[in-house]
Amino acid sequence: MDYTSIFWTLGVSFVLSVLFGPLFIPLLRRLKFGQQVRTDGPESHLKKTGTPTMGGIIILVALTLAFLRFADQGLEYWALLVACLGFGLVGFLDDYIKIVFKRSLGLTAKQKLFGQLLFSAIFCYILYKMDHSTVIGVPGTDWSFDLGWAYYLLVVVMFLGSTNAVNFTDGLDGLLSGTSALAFGAFAIIALEATQPQSAVFSAAVVGAVLGFLVYNAHPAKIFMGDTGSLGLGGGIAAVAILTKTELLLIVIGGVFVLEMLSVIIQVASFKTRGKRVFKMSPIHHHFELSGWSEWRVVTTFWFVGLLLAGAGLLLYKVS
């Protein structure tokens, strides 16, 4: 496996995603699969009501086709598909119920948690069959420790945390598409260095798919990815971090996602304990919007932060 194969995978995935856009966007419009915008959010977002959502289907189909074409089958291959498509299915059901049955919350919390735990358990079973190492390394050091059976609990926590964090990030035009491309790009390089060809191909396929989707998702967005895309990407990035044995490095490379999730946790905890809000609105990208930043300024700033964090993650990996 070399960079040439990675670029081919990325290119094919990108082209497929771009080609699928003109096919899916009119179809979603005809089916009236439009976005429902929060009335308590920034007023400028109200004009986005009715914009087609569930565009994550484009991302998942494009990356899957490219991955199937260029990756070799094996347990790692199936683990990546289970993580990405499994969590993507949970997101699809959530989006479908919201839109078709006019239920603003989609799946109930218990239903969504059941789906997430189910695919986490399947992934853990594949890890067990792979005889995957339960040793955790600390980024930037030569320290490591073996978690034993508790490693599988960490895997479940990683999937729950990652999918929710990535989901929180999907709130502005192009925000998640750009930040996820940067994060998966870093993991593609790490996977090559770690001699994990399937993870490298998968990461490249994701980069191509989200960049192709960004053609239609950049401001002003013609389509949103919905939970179908965000949960699928969240599952995929957690799987790559686990398979490349960079579990803790995900906190750095996916730092934008972590920041978004922490802002929600801090906001909720502060309001429940003190009756006061720390941010004007959470997730934190809305705080900057309500502070007077344009949507494009928020998005490009977060992209830049994502680029710095991806670079920091690669640097830590090199010195580990």
Q: Is residue 217 marked as binding?
A: no
Which is nearest to 71 in space by CA: 240, 188, 201, 204? 201
Query: CA nearest 144: which of 253, 247, 251?
Result: 247
Which three-class secondary structure state does DSSP give residue 34? strand
Alpha-carbon gap, residue 140 to 313, rounded angstroms = 9
Q: Which of 308, 310, 289 is nearest to 298 (CA)?
A: 289
H-helix or E-strand spanning residue 139:
none
Coil, strand, or helix at residue 135?
strand
Distant-in-sequence, close-in-space partners of 211: CB < 8 Å, separation ≥ 6: 14, 17, 177, 181
Q: Contact at 8 Å (CB) between 74 and 131? A: no
For 284-316, give the secondary structure using H, E and C: HHHHHHHCCCCHHHHHHHHHHHHHHHHHHHHHH
Tokens at residue 127, please?
A: 């890890």
Per-residue buried b or exposed e for 191-206, using 16+ beta carbons within 10 Å of the residue's own CB:
bbebebbbbbbbbbbb
**Residue 144: φ, ψ to 5°:** -155, 155
Residue identified by tokens 């830590």 is 316
The closest alpha carbon to 249, from 302, 191, 167, 305, belongs to 191
Taking the C-alpha atoms of residue 286 and residue 212, their distance in angstroms, rounded to an integer, is: 25
Backbone torsions φ then ψ of 136, nearest 5 degrees:
-110, 130
- Tell me the binding residues: 167, 227
- Tell me the binding residues for Mg(2+): 167, 227
